[in-house]
Amino acid sequence: MHPPNVPLGRRILLSTALVGAATLAPTLPVQAAATPVDSRQQLYAAAAAEYGVPEAVLLGVSYLESRWDGNAGTPSTSGGYGPMHLTDARHVAGLPGGGHYDAGEDPRGDSARPALAVQHPEADAPPAAALQTLDSAARLTGTAAEALRSDPAANIRGGAALLSSYQRALAGPTGNASDPAAWYGAVARYSGSDSADAAAAFADEVFTTIRDGASRTTDDGHRITLAAHPGLNPARSWLDKLGLRELARPDGLECPPELPCEWIPAPYEQFGDGDYGNHDLSDRPGRQKIEYIVIHDTEGSYAGTINMVQDPTYVSWNYTLRSVDGHIAQHVKAKDVAWHAGNWYVNAKSVGLEHEGFAAQGTWYTEAMYRSSAKLVRYLALRLGIPLDRQHIIGHDNVPGILPGNVGGMHWDPGPYWDWSHYFDLLKAPFRTLGTPRTGLVTIDPDFATNRPAFTGCDTAGVPCPSRGSSSVILHSAPSADAPLVNDLGLRPDGTPDTMHISDHGARASAGQTYAVADRRGDWTAIWYLGQKAWFHNPPSAPAAKWSTGLVVTPKPGRATIPVYGRAYPEQAAYPAGVPYQAITPLQYTLAAGQRYAVGAVLPSEYYRAVTFDGSSPGDWTVIRGDTTYVQIQFGHRIMFVNLADVQILPSPVGAPR
């Protein structure tokens, strides 16, 4: 949603209802691990034997919660710890630091209307029992809470004890040699869901993982393998014993049928003095093509976020996803325009997804939410004709300011800890390229687990953040780790270098973004970035990017510089009588001769006019189109636009450094 450009506190606002992630397409079968067995793998086997849980079930649940990662003993965005995601909401809520507050950005981003001065209310709720599973694990194992939070061995034992207790409560067969298929009910309960749909989705995802197998190296270097169990057919009738409610699925709900979704509408209401909220009506994609899906994080709890989107005086987005299990609530139909991205051009051409979580805190996004989100985004992209690439599936942090004065206040979620590479793997659109060092483009793609930039300020300004994998690479002004970072004039008009503060994104490139190569020296690669050469460490032994191919723009011959824009609006002559002209105002950046930037799309100029509740203003509820055509480019961390008349579009090898 809207993390401000200041430190965020560590207090995590937590959801009061939990659900399950959706089933993805099968992966390739994985065979049993060869000897010697990894010590972490042995911990799973020992815990399964101690508490009478089939090892495959224990591994499958743990994979869906954390992908077997320990995350250095830090909590997830929903307060879960360790490989088994044992939740401890009370402990997390009591950690030092403030909560979220909103600042800087007008979420509507429409200069035709007054800026929205919205407040982000604190919306804490007492934790549900499902958000305090660590307490139950402590009782069942006799292990101290701190050990369950920080020690992977204790955490795995705690998760095994919980699963065993759930199975006994259902009077199901126990023992680590028992049939995994009979553990469907216990797995569904582990999700903490209050609905049968969500619990079933979680359990189905776990059993798909068990059936197909999985293998990976964890964030702390342990190789874990879950052998494939082909033919496994879980006994879903155990779900009935949990007595959970069924979700209503009204006609018109825009979700894949296999995902747990509900309709919680955002209000379209007047509230006095001509004001209304919290979105605008339209008829997309018939009226206007949808180009983007924007990934946000909520900077608060699921429960609080749901409360806010139902407030007509607040703002809106299309979907909210819950952290622990990926449950989805839809609020605004795709045909209408939600107020979420801080740029009216992007809002009018996008769908916005809010993910329960925090951009700055040393927390991690759950695997269940990644998977549910990927299934939803793939469904929307295929339905709406949106390409599955980083030019169209963007973060809020990739949305440009509409005018120079808006650039510094734009938000930067979901932040550098969102795993874009893994997310696109789940979208079935991995970052694969066909380039070579001579093809002139690079697609950023560091190894998430080992790429750990030294960010600061997650808790307190200047204090190092927890060491955590990141999608971001850091950009220097020269090919040296000691060189200052590059400058973003929109964030630092005085020209001083950007910093490693967590919200200071002006010297970063993120996984999946493609840039034109500007230079190469040894293990360092320079890209064209905000009008300058920006260097990142890119050794062949541990590359941070993949050589790529594609199209680039460069100024037409004879043009020393050309302007760059934050929105692709039409020329003045296109506006009908009575409709105020929205000026085509350049941002504070320029694109100079000799520089090249990767092309994301060629777009018509469009302005969706919507400034009244009932469409009564001249030109309301119409798309104004002009003769101007724009090219979307990857100009910095954010996408931006240039006038097609100002540039040449060329194949990337032209003038590429060798």
DSSP 357-368: S-SSSS-B--HH
| pLDDT over 90 at 174, yes or no | yes
pLDDT digits (tens, 9 = 90+) for 312-321: 999 999 999 9
> Based on the number of CB atoms within 10 Å of its own CB, is 577 exposed (0-12), middle (13-18) or buried (19 or more)?
exposed
Domain edges within the chain: 39-97+125-242, 431-658
Q: Report residue 9's pLDDT band, with 50, 70 and 90 as the boundaries.
A: very low
- Other C-beta atoms closer than 10 Å to the C-beta of 274 total 9
Average pLDDT over residues 435-439: 93
Q: Which helix H or strand E contains 494, and what residues bound it?
A: none
Closest CA to 473 of 529, 394, 435, 422: 529
The tally of CA atoms less than 13 A away on the side-chain side of residue 53 is 33
Q: Is the pLDDT of residue 279 over 70?
A: yes
Q: How far is the first Cα of the chain from the last one, in angstroms, to the nearest whole number?
A: 41
10: left (phi over 0), alpha (psi -120 to 50) or beta: alpha
Per CATH, the number for 39-97+125-242 is: 1.10.530
Q: What average pLDDT does this structure show over 84-111? A: 73
Q: What is the pLDDT of residue 273?
A: 82
Cα four-point dihedral sign 328, 331, 332, 338: negative
Residue 18 is predicted with a pLDDT of 36
Residue 117 has pLDDT above 50, yes or no: yes
Q: CA 353 to CA 329: how far, in whole Å?
A: 10
| Residue from 227, 234, 230, 226 nearest 211 by CA | 230
Mean pLDDT for the stretch of residues 555-560: 98
Average pLDDT of the residues in 142-146: 97
| pLDDT at res. 460 | 86
Residue with tokens 């951009």: 359
pLDDT digits (tens, 9 = 90+) for 54-96: 999 999 999 999 999 999 898 998 889 999 999 998 887 776 5
Q: 3-class DSSP state for residue 237? A: helix
- CA 647 vs CA 519, 550, 644: distances in Å: 21, 16, 5
Position 51 confidence tier, pLDDT thresholds 50, 70, 90: very high
The mean of the pLDDT values for the chain is 91
What single DSSP character describes residue 131?
G
Confidence of residue 17 (pLDDT cuts 50, 70, 90): very low
Distance in angstroms (rounded) separating the CA atoms of residues 514 and 595: 15
Whether residue 36 is predicted with pLDDT greater than 90 in this model: the reply is no
Please give the Cα distance from 254 to 293 (Å, whole number). Answer: 14
Look at residue 10 and tell me whether its pLDDT is greater than 50: no
Residue 272 pLDDT: 83
Can you list the positions of beta strands (E) in 174-251?
214-217, 223-226
Q: Is the pLDDT of residue 545 over 50?
A: yes
Residue 302 tokens read as 């699921």
Q: Which of 82-96, 165-179, 500-514 has the lowest mean pLDDT?
A: 82-96
Give the per-residue pLDDT at 423.
98
The beta-strand segments (E) located in 541-646 are: 545-548, 551-555, 561-563, 590-592, 597-609, 622-634, 639-643
Is the model's pLDDT at 462 over the cut of 80?
Answer: yes
Within a 10 A sphere around the Cβ of 557, how many other Cβ atoms?
A: 7
pLDDT band at 194 (very low <50, low <70, confident <90, very high): confident
* pLDDT at 265 exceeding the cut of 80: yes
Six-digit token string for 377 = 């985004």
Evaluate if residue 167 carries a pLDDT over 70.
yes
pLDDT: which is higher, 25 or 631: 631
Query: pLDDT class for 129, splitting at 50, 70, 90?
Result: low
- Of the candidates 415, 402, 358, 342, the one whose C-alpha atom is nearest the C-alpha of residue 103 is 342
> In whole angstroms, what is the distance from residue 340 CA to residue 112 CA?
16
Query: Is a pLDDT exceeding 90 seen at residue 35?
Result: no
Give me the residues paired with residue 444 across strands: 545
Contact by Cβ (8 Å): 201, 259: yes
pLDDT value of position 376: 98
Q: State which amino acid sits at residue 380.
A: L
Who contacts 649 (Cβ-Cβ below 8 Å, separation ≥6)? Answer: 551, 552, 553, 599, 602, 631
- Over residues 91-111, mean pLDDT: 67
DSSP state of 106: -
- Could you report the per-residue pLDDT of 590-603, keeping only the tens digit for each? 999 999 999 999 99
Q: Out of 4-18, 403-417, 499-513, 570-584, which region has the weakest mean confidence (pLDDT)? A: 4-18
pLDDT at 156 over 50: yes
Q: State the pLDDT at residue 121.
A: 52
Q: Is the pLDDT of residue 290 over 70?
A: yes
Least-confidence region, from 57-71, 94-108, 133-147, 413-427? 94-108
Q: Identify the band that residue 119 occupies on the pLDDT scale cut at 50, 70 and 90.
A: low
What is the structure's pLDDT at 7? 35
- Res 31 pLDDT > 70: no
In contact, 294 and 346? CB cutoff 8 Å: yes
215: which DSSP letter? E
Residue 359: its pLDDT value, please? Answer: 87
pLDDT at 33 over 80: no
What is the pLDDT at residue 656? 64
Mean pLDDT of 423-444: 96
Which residues lie closer than 8 Å to 587 by C-beta, 6 or more apart?
A: 400, 401, 403, 404, 407, 490, 563, 564, 565, 566, 640
Residues 362 and 466: their CA atoms lie apart, in Å, by 6
Query: Is residue 437 pLDDT above 70, yes or no?
Result: yes
**Averaged pLDDT for residues 349-369:** 90
Here the tokens at position 203 are 């359990």
Residue 393 host element (H or E)? strand 393-395
Those residues with Cβ within 8 angstroms of residue 636's Cβ, 6 or more apart along the chain or in another chain:
488, 506, 529, 530, 589
Encode pLDDT of 215-263 as tens digits: 999 999 999 999 999 999 999 999 999 999 999 899 999 999 999 999 9
Structure token digits, residue 461: 């300004």
DSSP track, 34-100: PSSPPHHHHHHHHHHHHHT--HHHHHHHHHHHHTT--GGG--BTTSEETTTTEE-HHHHHTSSS---
**pLDDT score at 12:** 36
User: By mean pLDDT, which of 9-18, 81-90, 100-109 is the weakest?
Assistant: 9-18
